[in-house]
Structure formats: structure tokens, C-alpha cells
Amino acid sequence: MAGFSELIKSFDKTRDYVRDFFIYGCKVRSDFDRKSIRTYSDEKRRVESWMGDCMRYDDSVRGRSVSISVDSGHIPENPLYNAYYSKSFTDNDIRLHFLITDILYDGQSRTLKEITDLLNADYGQLFDEQTVRNKLKEYVEEGIVNAEKQGKTMYYSLSDDIADDYIRDFQGLEDALKFFSETQHFGIIGNSILKMLGLKNDLFFIKHNYMIHTLEDILIPDILSAMDEKRSISVTSFPNRHRSDIVTDEHEHKYVPMQILVSVQTGRRYLAVYSLEQERFTTLRLDYIKGIKKGISLTAMIIKKLLISEIFPVFSEFRSGLARREGTLSR
């Protein structure tokens, strides 16, 4: 039987538990009926290890409820960032991380075969080319490794962009990073750069910092990318048995993303969309969204004549329609 681990495999599941049981703070252990009680206990232990002294316990006749209680104006770092640093990894992941960066550290470009052969010859590690290729592809997407095609062969090299150089060369950038690490949108990026540099935010304390919404930041890159590429999206929502105004199953629903709206009172974020199924504009709460997949491009829809003549001609008309309805959406 597998033992308890603070590392997580599914960030979506953790978002769901943290939101329902630790942010809302009104549920007790007996309300957890989706999986085993042990699953709830494991998630509770993980959150307690991340949040430390920010946990609050309230006893009632229904049982003990656990919630997060923190004054954002008195802490330098959002403790929920720890969820992003808790992804599980395999032994091969950690080996390849250090070995590949060591091989490419001299600045030379190498092919996949050359890297695989060096892993075997110099480090005594036997990896098949597909495993190494997948890891290199992951690092290219993250900007750690550069990929350049020469003829029919792909060459890989370590990226020259090093945060230490920018901090040294640009005065005030360190302070800007400290501020960025606690901003509402994508603060996790600033925080991760600070951690990489061995720095901490010791300057900025934000009184009205809606830190709970940082768990939704994982969705925003795909949303913004779909907007930029003028694509539709498929949205899967968390199931909710007590709400009738949102999706209560886990089927995918197709939308055209238009704009992200933020409440100035609660910090809650909404995605303004056009529903391709209901043929109308609507909004979706980001904290209700489990996952997002980019779909077909609107240009491809036009080419294939999928609903275009009846529903919409071009992406820009959605924008115009949203602008006319912004007054209604904001209320």
C-alpha cells in the first residue's frame, strides 16, 4: 500500500479540495462523499503542510471544519504558491534534469543521439531516445533548452537567458520582481523567479490581496493563448450537486473566449464567452472550471462552414457583441 506523500499528481483534484473544504470553510469531513475518507485525510495533511499557521479549526455539532485564515497584509508571500511546487516526479525525471543540463552546460549544440550516447558513455545511464526526446521537448516548451533544426536534424542547446544576469544588469529589477510576486495575476511566476535566485519579498505587503484565486492561474495561459490564436475552447467544470446555474457534470462544453473579467469587490474572476451550443453570450467563474482545452480555430470553422452562417461570421464580431453587453455582464 502506498504511503502518504506531500507531492501531488493531479493539480485539478487539489484545486477542488482546497476550494471546497479549506477556502469556503463550511464543510466537515462527513460532507466528503466523492471518494474515500483517506483521500480527504491525505489532502488535509497536504494543505496543512503548505499553510502552516494559516489553518483555522472550528468545532460544531456537525464536526470539525478546517479553513484557511490569513491576513494578506501581514505576510510577504502567498502560502498557496506551495501547491505549484508540490508536483510529483519520477527518479528518471530528476536524473535527466541534472544530466541533460550538465551535458549542455558547455554551450555546444548537440543532437538527440549525441545526448543519449553521452548519457550512456559518460554517466552510465541507459535511456532510450524516446524518453530523452520527451524530456527535451518539455524543456524546450519551458524555455530551458533551445531547439534549432539544421537540415533534417534537430540540435539542442542550453538557453542563454539567465535571471541572475538580468538582476545584475538592470537596476531596480529585483524590487520589481518582489512586487510582481504578490500581484493578483501570475504572481506565481514572480515568486518562482525569486526562489530560483534565492531572494524573498521583504518590501511589499498587499492588504487587499485575493490570494485564493492564484489556484486559477493555471487555466489562464490556455485561455489567453486561445484568444490570441482565435480558437474555440472546450471547458470542463467541477461537478456541483447543489447548484443549478452551472454545469453539474464533467462533459466538455464549447465556447469562444472573449475576455477575463475581475470583480473589484471580491477579486473573483470570470471568463466572458460565447456559447457555441446555446448560441448566446455568458460568463463562467474561473474557480468552477476544472480544465480547458484549445479547440478548432475560427478560421477553420469558416472554411468548414460549421455553424458560421447562422451564428457568427468572424471573431471580431464576437468582440463587438461583448462590448455592447459589458454593462450587463458587470452587474
Exposure b/e, 135-152, CB count within 10 A at least 16 = b: bbeebeeeebbbeeeeee
Give pLDDT, residue 223.
Answer: 92
Which of 69-73, 183-187, 199-203 is predicted most confidently?
Answer: 199-203
Q: If you search the block for the grid coordinates 524543456, which residue do you land on?
A: 139
Q: If you search the block for the grid coordinates 460544531, which residue do you land on?
A: 60
Cell of 89: 516526479
Judged against a pLDDT cut of 70, whether residue 2 lies above it is answered with no
User: Of 211, 234, 252, at which residue does a domain stop?
Assistant: 211
Strand partners, 281: 274
**Higher-confidence position of 48 and 301:** 48
Give pLDDT, residue 270.
Answer: 93
pLDDT tens digits, residue range 246-255?
Answer: 444 567 899 9
Give pLDDT, residue 255.
Answer: 92
Asked whether residue 40 is assigned to any structural domain, the reply reads yes
The three-state (H, E, C) secondary structure of 120-180, written as one string: HHCCCCCCCHHHHHHHHHHHHHHCCEEEEEECCEEEEEECCCCHHHHHHHCCCHHHHHHHH
82 and 205, same domain (yes or no) = yes
Judged against a pLDDT cut of 70, whether residue 243 lies above it is answered with no
Confidence of residue 129 (pLDDT cuts 50, 70, 90): confident
Cell of 228: 490570441
Strands 253-262 and 269-275: antiparallel
pLDDT tens digits, residue range 162-184?
Answer: 777 788 888 888 999 999 988 87
Non-local CB neighbours of 7 within 8 Å, separated by 6+ positions: 86, 87, 88, 89
| Domain CATH number, residue 206 | 1.10.10.10
64 and 82, same domain (yes or no) = no
Q: What average pLDDT does range 308-331 have in this prediction?
A: 58
163 and 52, same domain (yes or no) = no
206 and 304, same domain (yes or no) = no
- DSSP letter assigned to residue 23: I
Strand partners, 261: 270
